[in-house]
């Protein structure tokens, strides 16, 4: 297990479980920037299950920009666009699909 697979000591207790949505959203962005091995799956989980629409939206945007070639990213974006009850999240999913299309088109 390399250093990126370990959760840094600053991440305990897990900030993605913090009661404050701003802390959870910021943690997701930091995980992606640190390229932690568990970042993609953690962010994907928050995109689907976080109680805050803001956190779900940030998670979807992060997935689109950080992992545009991942089939799981596409699935998460499509699921949110079709099924999320919040219009802000559906809008983020639609924007994320546009970003993925642009990033993967080679132009």
pLDDT confidence of residue 100: 96
Q: What is the pTM of this model?
A: 0.75
Domain count, the chain: 1
Burial of 49 (0-12, 13-18, 19+ CB in 10 A): exposed
pLDDT tens per residue, range 50-82: 999 999 999 999 999 999 999 999 999 999 999
Task: Name the residue range of residue 26's domain.
Answer: 3-104
Residue with tokens 């805050």: 52
pLDDT tens per residue, range 20-31: 788 787 777 777
Strand residues in the chain grouped as ranges (E) = none
């Amino acid at each position: 297990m390399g250093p990126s697979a370990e959760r840094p000591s600053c991440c305990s207790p897990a900030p993605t479980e913090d009661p404050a949505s701003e802390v959870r959203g910021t943690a997701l962005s930091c995980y992606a920037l640190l390229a932690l091995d568990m970042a993609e799956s953690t962010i994907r989980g928050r995109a689907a299950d976080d109680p805050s629409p803001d956190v779900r939206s940030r998670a979807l945007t992060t997935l689109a920009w950080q992992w545009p070639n991942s089939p799981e990213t596409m699935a998460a974006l499509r699921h949110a666009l079709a099924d999320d009850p919040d219009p802000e999240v559906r809008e983020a999913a639609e924007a994320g699909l546009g970003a993925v299309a642009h990033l993967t088109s080679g132009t």
